[in-house]
Chain A
Amino acid sequence: MLSLLLIILAATFFTGIIIRTKSIASGRKGPGIFQPIKDVIRLFKKGAVYSETTSFVFQIAPTIYFASVFVAMLVIPFGQSKGIISFNGDFIFFAYILGIGKFFSIIGAMDTGNSLEGMGASREALYSMLAEPAFFILMGSLALLTGYTSFQAIFSALHLGSSISYALAVMAAFVFLMIAMIENSRMPLDDPKTHLELTMVHEVMILDNSGFDLGIILTAGYLKFAIYGAIIFNLFSGTIAYQYAIPMFFGVQVFLAFVVGMIESFMARFRMNHNAQFIVVLSSVSLLIFFGALLVSGKFL
């Protein structure tokens, strides 16, 4: 329950901080950090335009997408306190429930009959397929390291003792951050600020959404960032008491948002055909973590 509230709170400012960092880095003052939320509220007040090509799929797709992110959020623990849903292997449920959201966002895009949206949908499907193994290998390694298979048990048993395990945690944080970037179609893969539909991934899929639907799609994106931020926080939190953990949680979220902002400011988008290679690299990093986990648990040969 605690994690749910904290993630929602973090989601309100996460994207705002990214945008603010980017604008400061490029010498502008930039909007306030709650601007994204204000945008969403404005969208909720607006009417909507639906394409005559679309069917009921287009109507329900944003809702299901949001619901999937929301339910995925319920799985995430906060330090010692469990998420609302917690069981052995809940990280599988987490990945698959996000999967159904993706499925609907893809077919929602295809429902419009727009070729560019189809293009985005095809890319989204491919990239998320390529990114999933990295997540699973990573979680599998953490399960191996701790001997548990649910988010909460893994994270509370994750003691960062040796220098190897610190290195593993840092690598894991990197992989999670990159997965978050892929999930949200952010910089190294996709430029959310581009104006050319041909080079978009996520942005082009939601070209036809408007009003309430667009609002919840954007909100889902903010939540996703905060969810992965919470996972990364959990990697390091261990068993500290709440009065330290909660400020640390927000500290980690702000720091991650800052890092994302810096990456986006100082890095160019990859060429489309390099994206696949980049995502597969993530799986290799996860494999490194796996071998590290083998070393730590003394099972290496």
Chain B
Amino acid sequence: MNSAWSFILIPVIAICFIPFLKVGVKAIAVYAVVSFVAILTSFVAIEALLGHPFNYTLPGSYISGPIRLQIDALSAWFMLIINFGFLTGGFYGLFYMSAYRNQPKNLTLSAILFVLLHTALISLCAIQNSFVFIVAWEIMALSAFLSILFEHEKVATVRAGINFLIQSHVSIICLIIGFIWVASQTGSYDFNAIHAYSLTHPGALSMQLYLIFFIGFSIKAGFVPFHTWLPYAHPAAPAHISGIMSGLLIKIGIFGILRMLLLIKVDYLSIGILILLISVISGVYGIMLAILQHNLKKILAYSSVENIGIIGIGIGLGCIGLGTNNPILSSLGFAGALLHTLNHSLFKSLLFFAAGNVYQATHSLDIEKMGGLIKKMPHTAFLFLLAALAISGLPPFNGFISEFILYSGLLNMIHSASMVSLLGIIFTVTSLVAIGGLATICFTKTFGVVFLGNPRHNFQHEVKEVSQFQLLPLYFMATFIVLIGLFPNVFLDILVSPVKLFTDLQQLPFNSFRGEGIETLTLVSAGGLYFILVILLLLGIRKLVLRKRMTSVSSTWSCGHIAPTAKIQYSGSSFSRTYSKLFAMFFQINKIEKDVQGVFPIDAHTETHIYDKVEKWLIDYPISSLKYFLSRFLFIQNGKLQFYILYGIAFIIMALTIPLIYHQIILFIDFLKLL
């Protein structure tokens, strides 16, 4: 029996047996299955990264044709990311879900879905047959949909789930159109057929085909303007699922975009510019909206849009490098994108898990109710801070490394560029810088309001740190965040073979980052080490100095004001107020206000809701127009039984008579044509 079969059989058997196990055993069984599959596929993936791609052909069926499985370096990179995410996320989920022990049916479903989601994501990386690819894609989408619905008694959760379901099916429609297009032209569902088709139809046709796939995959990835499902789906799902969705599920969209780039030969320069433009908009717009949110997980969801933008900037630069035959730009662009994919899956999952800890402790996600959690949950706070620093792209953490690679690519482009492309470079650099600065605002606000200061709300229950075991995977991920930040060269070496796939598209002379990437990054990491050294040294000096001095503890200096209350503190909204006034034109802020009135006022309140303008014009407006149009036909649905029977009879009569008078109709049409 070979590994491809055991990869399919083990999850199937597990899914059949999981419902009959006890709750505790079930959790361990699920984790064992996921670990088994992860280890099995990781071995194959590591082999592929070392230069031995895995190829296997399943017999398939009459409809699908033979199903080719292929794990090349690109698949392997994503498979390793997915496996890492599921191992840590699953481990976290074991403890996170134990709070729901009293809902065994719900847990069974989510356990099965977890295995399904993992298997589907892994197989999507390997499948080279479009028919089976769509099936796996649908399994992935549906299992993610049902996973979101875990807390299905909440209306918001169901709405978010259905939103996700619809949008992921729009994505599937795009993919199906693309695949059927190729299949109808070539008669084969194999991915090689796509490649062959694009070689025989260069130019506009290939470009259109690529764009259809690009739209399909970018709905999943969450590029603006296709991002609107993310801010609903992420907060609704349980923490480990949101972490996996944000860290891995949207990355499968990135994988699709990259895979199609390998298969479809397009004009790389123009597609590169297009991807770059969309990505820059995604990056800036995503983080701009993130700053204004009050819901902790919504902040993280919008920041995922931003990070997808950064990944996209890498892909765009890579494509431009391919188009202009610039091997350094191309390799640095794709390397930045792939490394940021890993980085984002690490720190975003970590942030979601930390947010999950906060949710477990406070039963709330509203940041305006929090504050001072660092004293009750020091570990969660520390981990959140670490991930926040990394996601803001600050050295010496991993986010900086991938952004630095992108900057290096951009700077490298300066030498050979014309005026127009120089303007493009300056635009991209400025946006990347602005993204970094906005991310700093966003995460100082989030961390500051949630964890620092005094508690803003009296929770009726005890707020306490989660168990040590639940923190274990978080620390594991944090270690990787620091490791990538300090020793990026190890990871850049791993990236050589995936990046080579892309540079080979145009036969560019790619020298494994020697000369540009590795040497510079060694010095960058040296800079990071210096930084840590200086901090440690200073902390030592500080300790020595303070040992001899008298330190005392007192209340915060509040400018002569005595007995300040926690409500006086700067809230999240006040922190972002100057910013929101400055950029007010980019979002819609709905305000519900009730002023203080009369001599003896009863109550007053203000509510602000941030609404996404893209969602308003791209989703809400078309839907409401459609509804308005369809409401013209509302008279048909009038609720009277007699009419419905009449419709039925009319339908039956038509169904019977039209075939009978078919010839007459044809004759009539021919007669019309003669006229």
> Could you tell me which A residues sit within 8 Å of B by CB distance?
44-57, 60, 63-64, 66-68, 70-71, 74-75, 84-90, 92-93, 95-97, 99-100, 102-103, 106-107, 110-119, 121-123, 125-126, 128-130, 132-133, 136-137, 140, 143-144, 147, 149, 197, 207-208, 211-213, 216, 272-273, 276, 283, 287, 290, 294, 299-301
Residue contact B429 to A136, C-beta cutoff 8 Å: yes
Residues from chain A with Cβ under 8 Å of B375 in the complex: 55
Bound Cα distance A283, B400 (Å):
23
Residue contact B452 to A44, C-beta cutoff 8 Å: no
The contact of B404 among A84, A93, A121, A140, by CB within 8 Å, is A93
Interface residues of B in 416-457 (CB under 8 A from A): 417-419, 422, 425-426, 429-430, 433-434, 436-438, 440-441, 443-445, 447-449, 452-454
From B404, B415, B433, B523, name the one whose CB has the most chain A CB atoms within 10 angstroms.
Answer: B433
Residue contact B542 to A68, C-beta cutoff 8 Å: no
Residue contact B419 to A50, C-beta cutoff 8 Å: no
Residues from chain A with Cβ under 8 Å of B582 in the complex: 126, 276
Bound Cα distance A208, B527 (Å):
31
Q: How far is the CB of B519 from chain A (nearest CB, A)?
A: 7
Closest residue of chain B to A110, judged by CB?
Answer: B448
Tell me whether B624 is interfacial, beta carbon within 8 Å.
no
Given the interface pairs A121-B444, A216-B538, the reply to whether A89 lies near B408 with Cβ below 8 Å is yes
Residue contact A299 to B411, C-beta cutoff 8 Å: no
Tell me whether B570 is interfacial, beta carbon within 8 Å.
yes
Residue tally, chain B, CB below 8 Å to A? 84
| Interface residue SS majority, chain B | helix
What per-residue 1/0 map shows which CB atoms of B572-585 lie under 8 Å from chain A? 00111111011000
Residue contact A44 to B408, C-beta cutoff 8 Å: no
Given the interface pairs A119-B570, A136-B429, the reply to whether A71 lies near B534 with Cβ below 8 Å is yes
Residue contact A144 to B414, C-beta cutoff 8 Å: yes
Bound Cα distance A140, B415 (Å):
11
| Interface residue SS majority, chain A | helix
Given the interface pairs A290-B426, A294-B419, the reply to whether A49 lies near B534 with Cβ below 8 Å is no
Tell me whether B468 is interfacial, beta carbon within 8 Å.
no
Residue contact A197 to B555, C-beta cutoff 8 Å: no
Residues from chain B with Cβ under 8 Å of A290 in the complex: 426
Residues from chain B with Cβ under 8 Å of A100 in the complex: 389, 394-395, 531
Residue contact B374 to A126, C-beta cutoff 8 Å: no
Tell me whether B526 is interfacial, beta carbon within 8 Å.
yes
What per-residue 1/0 map shows which CB atoms of B525-565 lie under 8 Å from chain A? 01100110011001100100110011111111111000010
Q: How far is the CB of A182 from chain B (nearest CB, A)?
A: 12
Residue contact A115 to B419, C-beta cutoff 8 Å: no
Residues from chain B with Cβ under 8 Å of A133 in the complex: 430, 433-434, 437
Residues from chain B with Cβ under 8 Å of A211 in the complex: 546, 549, 551
Residue contact A300 to B444, C-beta cutoff 8 Å: no
Q: How far is the CB of A68 from chain B (nearest CB, A)?
A: 7
Residue contact B429 to A140, C-beta cutoff 8 Å: yes
Bound Cα distance A97, B440 (Å):
13
Residues from chain A with Cβ under 8 Å of B550 in the complex: 47
Residues from chain A with Cβ under 8 Å of B579 in the complex: 122, 126
Residues from chain B with Cβ under 8 Å of A128 in the complex: 437, 440
Q: How far is the CB of A78 from chain B (nearest CB, A)?
A: 18
The contact of A144 among B422, B441, B444, B549, by CB within 8 Å, is B422
Given the interface pairs A63-B539, A93-B527, A125-B441, the reply to whether A88 lies near B555 with Cβ below 8 Å is no
Residue contact B527 to A113, C-beta cutoff 8 Å: no
Residue contact A113 to B569, C-beta cutoff 8 Å: yes
Residue contact B374 to A129, C-beta cutoff 8 Å: no
